[in-house]
Chains A and B, each alone.
Chain A
C-alpha cells in the first residue's frame, strides 16, 4: 500500500548515473525534495521526462531537488539496467538526479505502484503531495500542473490545494 500524507521520506544510499552515491542526507539542504518513481523503458515516463527536467531547472534556485529513482527488476527488464540509465540520462540531458534502487527498497518503502509516480516531501521531509506530475501525458493537453502547484504551495509555507492525484503510468516491476 502506498504511503500516506505526512509519511517521512525513506532513507537510502543509492548509486546515481553521475557516478556518486546519493543518500537522503545528500539533499539535507533542499527546501523540498521530489522523489519520482521512474525507469527507462516506460512510455509514460518518456512522455513526462522533458517536463520533469523543466521542473528541476525552474525550481533549482528555490532549493528544490528532483530525484528520479528506478527500482525495476532488470533481470526481466534489461532496458532498465544501470548502464542503460546512464545512457538515457546522458542522451536526454536529464536535469534531475537519477538513482538505481536495485534492492527495490525505496519503491517498497513508498509503496510505489506506477512510473512515473511523484512523492513530494517538504523541508521536514514529510510527504505533502503524491501522484502525477500533471493531468496529461500529452504535453499539449495539460490543464492542471499538479506538481508545480504543489511546489509553489510548499515553498510558500502552505499545504498544496491538491495533495493526491492518481499516478498514471506503467507498473513498477517488482521481483
Chain B
C-alpha cells in the first residue's frame, strides 16, 4: 500500500490532517510509510494534479474522489461533510474507507 500526503505549507490544516491519518493508521494497525511531500509552486501543483492542501492518496486514489478534480493550485482544499458543512481536512470516515 502506498500512501501519499501532499501539502502546501501556507495552509494551516496539514498538521491536523496528518495527525488524523496517523491515528487512523495506528487504529487499523497498518505499518505503512507515508510519503509526505510539500508542494511549493503552482507548476508543481499542476504537475502533481494537486487540488489543494492537504491531499491524501492511497495507491494513487484520492481519499475524497469528488474533490480530486478541483483545479490544481496552491490552495486550502475543501472537504464536504455529509451534513453539508465544509472542512479543511478529510473526515476519519473518508480515511477509513480509503484504507479499506
Query: Taking beta carbons and an 8 Å cutoff, which residues of A are in contact with B?
Result: 41-44, 46-47, 76-77, 79, 137-138, 168-171
- The distance in angstroms between the C-alpha atoms of A169 and B87, with both chains bound, is 11
Partner of A77, one of B11, B75, B85, B86: B75
Number of interface residues of B (CB under 8 A): 16
Least CB distance from A45 to B in Å reads 9
Query: Taking beta carbons and an 8 Å cutoff, which residues of B are in contact with A?
Result: 10-13, 42, 71, 73, 75-79, 85-88
On chain B, the residues within 8 Å of A137 by CB distance are 87-88
- The distance in angstroms between the C-alpha atoms of A21 and B11, with both chains bound, is 32
Least CB distance from B12 to A in Å reads 6
Determine if B87 and A76 form an interchain contact, defined as CB atoms under 8 angstroms apart: no
Partner of A44, one of B42, B73, B76: B76
Q: Total number of A-B contacts with CB less than 8 angstroms?
A: 37
Q: Which secondary structure dominates where chain B touches chain A?
A: loop
On chain B, the residues within 8 Å of A170 by CB distance are 10-12, 75-76
Determine if B78 and A46 form an interchain contact, defined as CB atoms under 8 angstroms apart: yes
Known A76-B42, A137-B88; judge A43-B78 contact (CB<8 A): yes
On chain A, the residues within 8 Å of B75 by CB distance are 41, 77, 170
On chain B, the residues within 8 Å of A168 by CB distance are 12
- Inter-chain pairs besides A46-B86, A76-B42, A170-B10, 16 sampled, C-beta below 8 Å: A41-B75, A41-B78, A43-B76, A43-B79, A43-B88, A47-B86, A47-B88, A76-B73, A77-B75, A137-B88, A168-B12, A170-B11, A170-B12, A170-B75, A171-B10, A171-B11
On chain A, the residues within 8 Å of B85 by CB distance are 47
